[in-house]
Amino acid sequence: MILKSKTKYTLHSAIQDGDIKKVKQLINKDSTLVNSKYKNGTTALSVALKYKNLPIAEILLSN
């Protein structure tokens, strides 16, 4: 699934910002976000790892 909706890009931004609360809210609202890919082929997990945000990576892995 390639992400195009505004909500799904918000997850990417929340991860970049290190906003754990927002990441959890978005995942609770739509759990498919965790495994979806962005237009450039990256996943939420790869973004979290790129920004060295291990707490968010753990949240993504547990969902």
Average model confidence (pLDDT) across the chain: 86
Q: What is the CATH number of the domain that holds 47?
A: 1.25.40.20
Q: Whole-prediction pTM value? A: 0.80
- Residue 29 domain flag: yes
Q: Which domain holds residue 29?
A: 6-62
- Residue 49 domain flag: yes
The tens digit of pLDDT for each residue in 9-24 reads 588 889 999 999 999 9
The tens digit of pLDDT for each residue in 7-60 reads 545 888 899 999 999 999 999 999 999 988 887 888 999 999 999 999 999 999
* Rounded distance between C-alpha atoms, residue 49 and residue 58, angstroms: 10
Share of the chain above pLDDT 70, in %: 86
Number of domains in the chain: 1
- Residue 1 domain flag: no
Let me know if 31 is exposed, middle or buried by CB neighbors in 10 A (0-12, 13-18, 19+): exposed
- Residue 37 domain flag: yes
